[in-house]
Structure 1
Amino acid sequence: MPASKVAAQQPLVAIAILNYNGADYLERFLPSVLQTTYPNAQLFVIDNGSTDDSIDRLKKWGFERFMATADQPFPPAQSADRKIPRYYIDLPENYGFAEGYNRGLAQLQHADYYVLLNSDVEVSPDWVEPLIHCLEKSPQRAAAQPKILMEAQRNLFEYAGAAGGWMDHWGYPFCRGRIFSELEEDQGQYDQTQEVFWASGAALCIRSQLYHQFGGLDADFFAHMEEIDFCWRLKKGNYQIYVCPKSKVWHVGGGTLPPNNPRKDYLNFRNSLVCLLKNLEGGPTLFLLLYWRLLLDGLAAIRFLKDGKWGSIAAIVKAHWHFFFAFPKHWKKRAEIKERLAAYAYQKTPRFNTAGYLRKSIVWLHFAKKVKTFKDIEQ
C-alpha cells in the first residue's frame, strides 16, 4: 500500500511546540522531532512573540508561515520530499504558556490529536505511535504522556511528569518516579501503561476536540500547573488520562524559569490554590481544605526561611495575596466548568474519575515518614 494511503488511515497529529526566545533550544532539539516516524504528523512551532532570531532560523530550516483561513483551514497533506511537514505560527506577543497554546491551536482544529511539546525536549523517532495507540483503544481515553527522563542525566526521571502525574488529598502533585525534588533512577519499574491523574504539559498528547470542548488551558495561569488543572476538568467529566512508557522523551526542564526561581515559586503556589478552587466540590469541605492548604504553604515558607530563600518566602506571600484578590473571578469559573461537563462529559456522566488520586498527604509521607519513591507509598 502506498505510504500516502497508510498515512491517511492514521489519525492526523499536530505536534505543536510553543517557543519564546528559544532559538538555541530549537536548533538543538528540532532535529530529533523532524525524525518522527509517525506517518500522519505535521509539525508546528507556535512562536510567542519572540524577540530573538527564532523566526529567521525557522525559515532557514524550511518552515513555512501558516495562518488558518476559510480557503485553507489546515496545511496541505504530507509532501514527498521530507518526512514531516513543518510550519510556524507567528503570534504578535508573549501570551504565556497557556494562552499561547490556546491561540496557536485555535488554527489547528482539523487535527485529530494535538501533541503539546516543550522546545527543550528530545524525542525518539517512534515516540508518537505508542501515544496514539494507547488513546485509540477507547474514546474515554482523553490524553496521554510519554515517559519523561532528564536530558542531562538520561537514566533519571525528569521533574515535570516523570512516569505519570498523581495528586494527593491536599492538592500537591507528584509523579511516579518523582516525589517533590526526589528523582528516581529509571530501572523499568514504571514501564507499564497506567491511568494517572494528570499528564505533563512538557509532552502532552490530547484529543483536539476535547481540548476545545473543555476550554483549553486557563490563560490566567500563564504558566505552571495549567495542564493539571485541565486534566482535572477532564477527569471530572469521567475521562481518563494515561502514561505510555513505550514512548520516551528527554526533557531539559527549567528552560523558561529555572529551579529555585521566585517567579516559578509564585506561579506554582498561586496556581495550585486556583486549581483547587476551580475543581474541588463545593461546600464546607472545599473551604476547610483551602484553609489547611494555606497553613501547609506557611510551613513551606518556614522551610524556605531555614534555607535563607527570602525571595521564595515573598513569592508565597504574593501568591496568597493574589489568590484572595482574584477569588471571585476564579469562583465564577466553576459555573462554566459545570456547563461544559453537562455538555461534553463522557457518555453524559460527569463523574469524577479518581484514578491517580492519593487520599493521603504526600507532604506527611515524604517529610515525616521519609517516603522517597512512588513504590514506597501504601495506596
Structure 2
Amino acid sequence: MNNMEIHLAIPSYNNATGLKKLLPQAVLQDFASITVLDDGSTDDTSKVVEMFSGVKYIKSNENHGSVAAKNLILKQLPQNGWLLFIDSDMEIITDDIPAKLQDFSQRHTEAGAGVRLIKTHDGSPMRFNKGFDLNPLRMVLAMVFYAIMYILPSNFALREFVRKLSSPFSMDFHTIKEEKVDWAVEGFFFVKVSLFKKFGGYDSRFIRNHEGPDLCLRLRQAGHQIWFFPGIIIQDHDQHSHSNFYRRYHWWRSLIIYYYKNPSRLLIWHWPNP
C-alpha cells in the first residue's frame, strides 16, 4: 500500500476487558500495523496483547493520561501513511475499514477525519463526536436547545423546528452526510502521519480532554480540512477507568487550557458549513 498504509493506534488504561473485544476485530482488518498504547495499566492489559502476535505494545511507566498515551505512537510511526486512533472501549461495526479510509484519503489528501459513533444501548448517534469551534456562547445555546428538543415528543413537529433552529449553534448529530466540520472527536480520529508528526502529535497539556478540537484547530489554521466521514460506524461503550470527579475535573481543566492557548476562539463564531 506504500503511502496508503494505515496504522492503527489503540490508547488504553486498565481496560483489558475492552481490548479482548476490540483486538480480535482489529486483527481481521488490513491495517499495516496495530499498536496498543498502554497508559501505565495495572490490570491484565499486557497479557491480553500477548495473545495477538502481530500486535505491537508500548507501555508508559506511569499513568500520565490518555493524551500522553496517544503520543507514544510518535516513536513507532514511519514517515508516510495514515494514522488511525480508536479508543479501547469501542467496538468495530464496519467491515474493511482500511479500504474505506483509503478511499477517503484519495479524495481528501491533506485532511483529518472522524466517523459515526453510536451508543451501545440503542444505536443512536453519540453527541459531540463532531462540532463547530468551541465557543462559550454557542455551547450554552446548544445545551439550551438540546434540553428543549429532548423534552418534546419525538413525533412532535415542533421538535424538528427546534432542531433546525439550533443548527447555527451545534452540529446535527443525526446527519449521515459527509461534511466539513471544525473538529472531530479524538476517540476515533484519522490523520496523515506526516501531519501528526509535523504538529508534534496532541498537546499533552490537555491530559485527557479537548486535545481533539485543539489538534483540529491547528490543522485548520495551517490550511488543512477536518471532515465527518459517516461511511464507518463505531460503537462507543463509554467505559471509564477513573471516577466521575476525576473526569469532570479534567474536562473543565482542559477547556480552560484550550481557551488560554487559543483566546481568539472565545469570540470567533461562524455559521454552518464552514
TM class by shorter-chain length?
0.7 to 0.9
1:256, CA displacement in angstroms? 3.4
Matching of residue 105 in structure 1 with residue 71 in structure 2 = no
1:1-379 aligned within 5 A: 8=1, 11-36=4-29, 38=30, 40-59=31-50, 61-63=51-53, 85-123=54-92, 124-141=94-111, 143-154=112-123, 156-161=124-129, 164-167=130-133, 169-170=135-136, 190-257=175-242, 261-281=244-264, 289=266, 358=270
Contact 1:149 1:250 in 2 (8 A): yes
Distance 1:248 1:117 in 2: 12
Q: Deviations over 1:196-218 (max 9, x none)?
A: 01111111011111112112111
Same amino acid, percent of matched pairs: 23
Contact 1:130 1:244 in 2 (8 A): no
Contact 2:58 2:72 in 1 (8 A): no
RMSD: 3.1
Q: Deviations over 1:23-63 (max 9, x none)?
A: 11111222222222x4x53211111221111111211x233
1:173, CA displacement in angstroms? 5.8
Q: Secondary structure at the match of 1:204?
A: strand
Distance 1:171 1:106 in 2: 39
Contact 1:126 1:247 in 2 (8 A): no
The letter of the residue matching 1:127 is I
Residues 1:99 and 1:9: Cα distance change in structure 2 (over 3 Å) = closer
Distance 2:193 2:22 in 1: 24
Distance 1:173 1:44 in 2: 35
1:160, CA displacement in angstroms? 4.9
The letter of the residue matching 2:21 is R
1:180, CA displacement in angstroms? 6.5
Contact 1:121 1:249 in 2 (8 A): yes
The letter of the residue matching 1:128 is P
Return the TM-score normalized by structure 1: 0.59
Higher relative contact order (CA 8 A, sep 6+): 2
The letter of the residue matching 1:103 is L
Contact 1:127 1:248 in 2 (8 A): no
1:102, CA displacement in angstroms? 1.1
Q: Which has the larger radius of gyration?
A: 1
Distance 1:115 1:107 in 2: 13
Q: Deviations over 1:264-289 (max 9, x none)?
A: 222222211221221244xxxx7xx4
Contact 1:159 1:253 in 2 (8 A): no
Aligned positions, number: 249
Unaligned runs of 5+ in 1: 1-7, 64-84, 291-353, 360-376
1:172, CA displacement in angstroms? 5.9
Residues 1:160 and 1:53: Cα distance change in structure 2 (over 3 Å) = farther
Q: Secondary structure at the match of 1:17?
A: strand
Distance 1:41 1:110 in 2: 13
Unaligned runs of 5+ in 2: 155-172
Contact 1:233 1:279 in 2 (8 A): no
Return the TM-score normalized by structure 2: 0.79
